[in-house]
Amino acid sequence: MPLFRRKEQPSAEVDFTKLPRHIAIIMDGNGRWAKKRGLPRTAGHAAGAETFRSIATYCKEIGLDYLTVYAFSTENWKRPAEEVSAIMGLLKKYLLEAIGQMERDKVKMEFFGDLSPLTPELRELCQRTREISKHYEGCQVNICLNYGGRDELMRGAMAYAKDCAEGKADPNHLTQEQFGQYLFSKGVPDPDLVIRPSGELRLSNFLLWQSAYAEFYFTDVLWPDFSKEELHKAIAAYQHRSRRFGGV
Ligand code: FPP
């Protein structure tokens, strides 16, 4: 068994009374899932979007407070235009459906990232989704779109510098809580558990500030194959960890 999972409990038994408050997921492995089946990469993203739908629905059912997913990074624009456009198409489809079902689902939706390079139509859909759902209480789903952790930190630093220059902030006094207000994740507690499927063991510029004390769970399962049972395994592993936040 790989070293990083040496101490993990094999059981997927979850204590639903002690769920992490916030789970963040890097939805990785769509391309490999498609390749294994002789399909185009875009088919992998379509399957990944379905997995996202079912995992998000399930997270709401079990009473999770926050789910954050990495849908498109600041670096993903380097992919072939056809693939970028397929991912944007899947997002549009998802948002249209989410808007249609909002009264029933009542999931609050937010977007982390700079939405300005998106098409006006997609930007408007994100804005509408955010606006309609902003009063919902319960589960909040954050979609990271054109998001990068470094980009977020630089934007935060620039906004803080601007506030200092305008006399709205004190350059000699800044707490971590105050700086957190300059980030896309403003108002959202840090993730307790970050999950990365597909066997890759890196953070890839995801929630760099917010995941400072997160527990990490890695699995070889590719994102389109990620199921409720896989989520249970991740949560069960989290529940067996001892979190010390730098203390003893
Ligand atoms: C990473 O897998 C996945 C992405 C860059 C795109 C994720 C997008 C979706 C799941 C669909 C749209 C999202 C929503 C929220 C509806 P990869 O392509 O890098 O996989 P690989 O490493 O196997 O090539």
Q: Residues 194-212: pLDDT tens digits?
A: 999 999 999 999 999 999 9
What confidence tens digit (pLDDT) does each residue in 26-70 have? 999 999 999 999 999 999 999 999 999 999 999 999 999 999 999
pLDDT of residue 248: 77
- Residue 172: active-site member: no
Tokens 């989410």, residue located: 98
Q: What is the pLDDT of residue 6?
A: 47
- The model's pTM: 0.95
Ligand 1 pocket residue status of 147, Cβ below 6 Å: no
Q: Judge whether 230 lies within some domain.
A: yes
125 occurs within a structural domain: yes
**Average pLDDT of span 216-230:** 98
217: in domain: yes
> Ligand 1 centre and the CA of 106: distance in Å?
25
Residue 244 has a pLDDT of 83
160 has pLDDT over 60: yes
Give the count of domains, the chain: 1
Q: What is the DSSP letter of 4?
A: G
User: Domain of 44?
Assistant: 3-149+189-239
20 CB within 6 A, ligand 1: no
Would you say residue 244 lies in a domain? no
Domain for residue 143, yes or no?
yes
Task: With respect to residue 74, please indicate whether it lies within any of the assigned structural domains.
Answer: yes
- With a 6 Å cutoff on the Cβ, whether 45 touches ligand 1 is yes
CATH of the domain at 69: 3.40.1180.10
Whether 88 shows a pLDDT value over 70: the answer reads: yes
Reply yes or no on whether 76 is catalytic: yes
